[in-house]
Chain A
Amino acid sequence: QVQLQQSGPGLVKPSQTLSLTCAISGDSVSSNSAAWYWIRQSPSRGLEWLGRTYYRSKWYNDYAVSVKSRITINPDTSKNQLSLQLNSMTPEDTAVYYCARVETLGRGVAAFDFWGQGTMVTVSS
Protein backbone atom coordinates (compact mmCIF):
# COMPACT_ATOMS: atom_id res chain seq x y z
CA GLN A 1 0.00 0.00 0.00
CA VAL A 2 1.38 3.36 -1.05
CA GLN A 3 1.50 6.04 1.61
CA LEU A 4 2.46 9.68 1.25
CA GLN A 5 3.42 11.55 4.42
CA GLN A 6 3.69 15.30 4.19
CA SER A 7 5.68 17.56 6.49
CA GLY A 8 6.35 21.25 6.67
CA PRO A 9 5.22 24.48 8.32
CA GLY A 10 1.65 25.62 8.53
CA LEU A 11 2.49 29.31 8.72
CA VAL A 12 4.66 31.29 6.33
CA LYS A 13 5.30 35.03 6.34
CA PRO A 14 4.68 37.07 3.20
CA SER A 15 7.66 37.13 0.81
CA GLN A 16 9.16 34.03 2.42
CA THR A 17 9.62 30.58 0.88
CA LEU A 18 7.35 27.63 1.55
CA SER A 19 9.14 24.29 1.85
CA LEU A 20 7.18 21.05 2.05
CA THR A 21 8.28 17.44 1.79
CA CYS A 22 6.36 14.31 0.88
CA ALA A 23 7.83 11.02 2.06
CA ILE A 24 6.86 8.04 -0.07
CA SER A 25 6.42 4.48 1.16
CA GLY A 26 5.23 1.52 -0.87
CA ASP A 27 6.58 2.95 -4.12
CA SER A 28 9.66 4.71 -5.44
CA VAL A 29 9.98 8.33 -6.42
CA SER A 30 12.07 6.93 -9.30
CA SER A 31 9.22 4.75 -10.54
CA ASN A 32 9.12 4.47 -14.32
CA SER A 33 5.34 4.51 -14.38
CA ALA A 34 4.27 7.00 -11.70
CA ALA A 35 4.39 10.78 -11.58
CA TRP A 36 4.45 12.81 -8.39
CA TYR A 37 2.44 15.98 -8.09
CA TRP A 38 1.89 18.91 -5.83
CA ILE A 39 -1.66 20.26 -5.79
CA ARG A 40 -3.25 22.93 -3.66
CA GLN A 41 -6.83 23.67 -2.74
CA SER A 42 -8.44 26.90 -1.66
CA PRO A 43 -12.03 28.17 -1.68
CA SER A 44 -11.18 30.74 -4.35
CA ARG A 45 -9.12 28.54 -6.70
CA GLY A 46 -10.52 25.06 -6.05
CA LEU A 47 -8.13 22.18 -6.79
CA GLU A 48 -5.12 23.62 -8.58
CA TRP A 49 -2.17 21.63 -9.80
CA LEU A 50 1.20 23.25 -9.15
CA GLY A 51 3.70 20.91 -10.70
CA ARG A 52 5.02 17.42 -11.09
CA THR A 53 8.19 15.39 -11.27
CA TYR A 54 8.69 12.00 -12.86
CA TYR A 55 11.44 9.67 -14.00
CA ARG A 56 11.58 8.09 -17.45
CA SER A 57 15.25 7.25 -17.86
CA LYS A 58 15.88 10.82 -16.77
CA TRP A 59 14.06 13.33 -14.57
CA TYR A 60 11.35 15.60 -15.90
CA ASN A 61 9.54 18.50 -14.26
CA ASP A 62 6.49 20.47 -15.32
CA TYR A 63 5.08 23.51 -13.57
CA ALA A 64 1.84 25.43 -13.71
CA VAL A 65 2.08 28.72 -15.56
CA SER A 66 0.61 30.53 -12.56
CA VAL A 67 3.60 29.64 -10.33
CA LYS A 68 6.31 28.75 -12.84
CA SER A 69 8.60 31.63 -11.93
CA ARG A 70 8.75 30.75 -8.25
CA ILE A 71 8.30 26.98 -7.85
CA THR A 72 10.77 24.12 -7.60
CA ILE A 73 9.92 20.45 -7.17
CA ASN A 74 12.80 18.13 -6.43
CA PRO A 75 12.94 14.37 -6.06
CA ASP A 76 15.24 12.98 -3.37
CA THR A 77 16.07 9.40 -4.27
CA SER A 78 18.17 8.82 -1.14
CA LYS A 79 15.18 9.53 1.10
CA ASN A 80 12.48 8.44 -1.39
CA GLN A 81 10.63 11.71 -1.16
CA LEU A 82 9.83 14.82 -3.10
CA SER A 83 9.91 18.42 -2.05
CA LEU A 84 8.12 21.60 -2.94
CA GLN A 85 9.59 25.06 -2.71
CA LEU A 86 7.41 28.05 -3.47
CA ASN A 87 9.08 31.42 -3.26
CA SER A 88 7.73 34.90 -2.64
CA MET A 89 4.64 33.72 -0.84
CA THR A 90 1.62 36.04 -0.62
CA PRO A 91 -1.70 35.69 1.20
CA GLU A 92 -3.19 34.44 -2.10
CA ASP A 93 -1.04 31.31 -1.66
CA THR A 94 -2.94 30.39 1.49
CA ALA A 95 -4.32 26.92 0.80
CA VAL A 96 -4.18 23.25 1.67
CA TYR A 97 -1.23 21.70 -0.14
CA TYR A 98 -1.25 18.05 -1.21
CA CYS A 99 1.25 15.71 -2.76
CA ALA A 100 -0.24 12.96 -4.85
CA ARG A 101 0.72 10.06 -7.08
CA VAL A 102 -0.51 9.67 -10.62
CA GLU A 103 -0.43 6.17 -12.00
CA THR A 104 -1.75 4.75 -15.22
CA LEU A 105 -4.69 2.50 -14.41
CA GLY A 106 -6.92 0.46 -16.69
CA ARG A 107 -7.65 1.47 -20.28
CA GLY A 108 -4.48 3.55 -20.30
CA VAL A 109 -5.95 6.34 -18.22
CA ALA A 110 -3.93 8.02 -15.48
CA ALA A 111 -5.44 9.12 -12.19
CA PHE A 112 -4.47 10.43 -8.78
CA ASP A 113 -4.71 7.19 -6.82
CA PHE A 114 -2.82 8.12 -3.66
CA TRP A 115 -2.70 11.43 -1.80
CA GLY A 116 -0.85 12.88 1.13
CA GLN A 117 -2.82 14.00 4.14
CA GLY A 118 -2.62 17.66 3.19
CA THR A 119 -0.90 20.61 4.85
CA MET A 120 -2.85 23.77 5.61
CA VAL A 121 -0.51 26.65 4.82
CA THR A 122 -1.41 30.15 5.93
CA VAL A 123 0.52 33.14 4.64
CA SER A 124 0.40 35.86 7.24
CA SER A 125 2.73 38.14 9.12
Chain B
Amino acid sequence: DIQMTQSPSSLSASVGDRVTITCRASQSVGIFLNWYQQKPGKAPKLLIYAASSLQNGVPSRFTASGSGTDFTLTIISLQPEDFATYYCQQTYSTPPVTFGQGTRLEIK
Protein backbone atom coordinates (compact mmCIF):
# COMPACT_ATOMS: atom_id res chain seq x y z
CA ASP B 1 0.00 0.00 0.00
CA ILE B 2 1.13 3.55 -0.70
CA GLN B 3 1.74 5.50 2.50
CA MET B 4 1.06 9.22 2.63
CA THR B 5 2.96 11.37 5.13
CA GLN B 6 2.06 14.97 5.83
CA SER B 7 4.11 17.63 7.54
CA PRO B 8 3.75 19.35 9.80
CA SER B 9 1.12 17.53 11.84
CA SER B 10 -0.05 20.86 13.17
CA LEU B 11 0.79 24.48 12.78
CA SER B 12 -0.30 27.82 14.14
CA ALA B 13 -0.73 30.84 11.94
CA SER B 14 -2.46 34.19 11.86
CA VAL B 15 -5.08 35.63 9.56
CA GLY B 16 -3.32 36.98 6.50
CA ASP B 17 -0.37 34.57 6.75
CA ARG B 18 0.82 32.35 3.93
CA VAL B 19 1.08 28.70 4.95
CA THR B 20 2.36 25.61 3.20
CA ILE B 21 1.58 21.98 3.97
CA THR B 22 3.62 19.15 2.55
CA CYS B 23 2.57 15.63 1.57
CA ARG B 24 4.97 12.87 0.63
CA ALA B 25 4.05 9.54 -0.94
CA SER B 26 6.01 6.36 -0.25
CA GLN B 27 6.21 5.80 -4.01
CA SER B 28 5.35 7.83 -7.07
CA VAL B 29 1.68 8.64 -7.50
CA GLY B 30 2.13 10.88 -10.55
CA ILE B 31 -0.50 13.61 -10.25
CA PHE B 32 -3.05 11.30 -8.64
CA LEU B 33 -3.13 13.36 -5.47
CA ASN B 34 -6.02 15.22 -3.91
CA TRP B 35 -6.35 17.64 -0.99
CA TYR B 36 -9.29 17.94 1.40
CA GLN B 37 -10.30 20.35 4.13
CA GLN B 38 -12.19 19.15 7.18
CA LYS B 39 -13.82 21.27 9.84
CA PRO B 40 -14.93 19.87 13.21
CA GLY B 41 -18.09 17.80 12.96
CA LYS B 42 -18.14 17.94 9.16
CA ALA B 43 -17.16 15.62 6.35
CA PRO B 44 -14.00 16.34 4.39
CA LYS B 45 -14.41 18.74 1.49
CA LEU B 46 -12.49 18.40 -1.77
CA LEU B 47 -10.23 21.39 -2.42
CA ILE B 48 -7.72 20.26 -5.01
CA TYR B 49 -7.65 17.29 -7.38
CA ALA B 50 -4.99 16.06 -9.76
CA ALA B 51 -2.30 17.69 -7.62
CA SER B 52 -3.02 21.25 -8.70
CA SER B 53 -6.56 21.66 -10.06
CA LEU B 54 -8.93 23.76 -7.99
CA GLN B 55 -12.31 22.15 -7.34
CA ASN B 56 -15.33 24.24 -8.37
CA GLY B 57 -16.19 26.88 -5.82
CA VAL B 58 -12.90 26.74 -3.90
CA PRO B 59 -11.27 30.16 -3.40
CA SER B 60 -8.21 30.92 -5.46
CA ARG B 61 -6.12 31.56 -2.34
CA PHE B 62 -5.71 27.77 -2.25
CA THR B 63 -2.95 26.58 -4.57
CA ALA B 64 -1.17 23.28 -4.86
CA SER B 65 1.65 21.73 -6.79
CA GLY B 66 3.80 18.67 -7.10
CA SER B 67 4.07 15.36 -8.85
CA GLY B 68 5.63 12.00 -8.18
CA THR B 69 6.22 11.76 -4.46
CA ASP B 70 6.29 15.36 -3.20
CA PHE B 71 3.33 17.71 -3.05
CA THR B 72 2.45 21.00 -1.42
CA LEU B 73 -0.73 22.84 -0.54
CA THR B 74 -0.38 26.57 -0.01
CA ILE B 75 -2.95 28.95 1.38
CA ILE B 76 -2.17 32.52 0.42
CA SER B 77 -3.45 35.04 2.96
CA LEU B 78 -5.27 32.88 5.52
CA GLN B 79 -8.87 33.71 6.24
CA PRO B 80 -10.69 32.87 9.50
CA GLU B 81 -12.69 30.12 7.77
CA ASP B 82 -9.48 28.35 6.67
CA PHE B 83 -8.62 27.10 10.15
CA ALA B 84 -9.29 23.40 9.79
CA THR B 85 -7.55 20.07 9.24
CA TYR B 86 -6.13 19.29 5.81
CA TYR B 87 -5.60 15.85 4.29
CA CYS B 88 -3.86 14.61 1.20
CA GLN B 89 -5.04 11.44 -0.52
CA GLN B 90 -3.69 9.33 -3.36
CA THR B 91 -5.75 7.62 -6.03
CA TYR B 92 -2.87 6.30 -8.12
CA SER B 93 -3.02 2.78 -6.78
CA THR B 94 -6.45 1.78 -5.55
CA PRO B 95 -7.67 -0.06 -3.73
CA PRO B 96 -6.75 0.83 -1.13
CA VAL B 97 -7.42 4.54 -1.07
CA THR B 98 -4.95 6.10 1.36
CA PHE B 99 -4.97 9.41 3.17
CA GLY B 100 -2.31 11.35 4.98
CA GLN B 101 -2.62 11.65 8.74
CA GLY B 102 -3.77 15.25 8.52
CA THR B 103 -2.38 18.69 9.27
CA ARG B 104 -4.26 20.73 11.84
CA LEU B 105 -4.12 24.45 11.12
CA GLU B 106 -4.80 26.52 14.22
CA ILE B 107 -5.12 30.19 14.92
CA LYS B 108 -2.06 31.74 16.55
> Which of B42, B91, B95, B101 touches A111 (beta carbons < 8 Å)?
B91
Interface residue stretch chosen among A12-20, A70-78, A85-93, A112-120: A112-120
Nearest Cβ in chain B — how far from A3, in angstroms? 12
The answer to whether A112 and B50 touch across the interface, beta carbons within 8 angstroms, is no
- A116-B43 in contact (CB<8A): yes
Tier of interface size on chain B: 20 to 34
Q: A105-B50, A109-B49 are in contact. Are A49 and B91 (CB under 8 A)?
A: no
A25 to B36, CA, bound (A): 22
Q: Mark B8-37, 1 if CB is under 8 A from A, else 0.
A: 000000000000000000000001101010
Known: A106-B49, A115-B43. A64 touches B96 (CB 8 A): yes
Within 8 A of A (CB), among B41-70: 42-46, 49-51, 53, 55
- Chain B residues near A62: list those with CB within 8 A: 95
| Residues from chain A with Cβ under 8 Å of B43 in the complex | 98, 100, 115-118
For B42, B43, B51, the residue with the greatest tally of chain A CB atoms inside 10 Å of its CB is: B43
A38 to chain B, nearest CB (A): 11
Known: A47-B44, A105-B53, A106-B53. A111 touches B34 (CB 8 A): yes
Please list the residues of chain B having a beta carbon within 8 angstroms of any beta carbon in chain A.
Answer: 31-32, 34, 36, 42-46, 49-51, 53, 55, 87, 89, 91, 94-99, 101-102
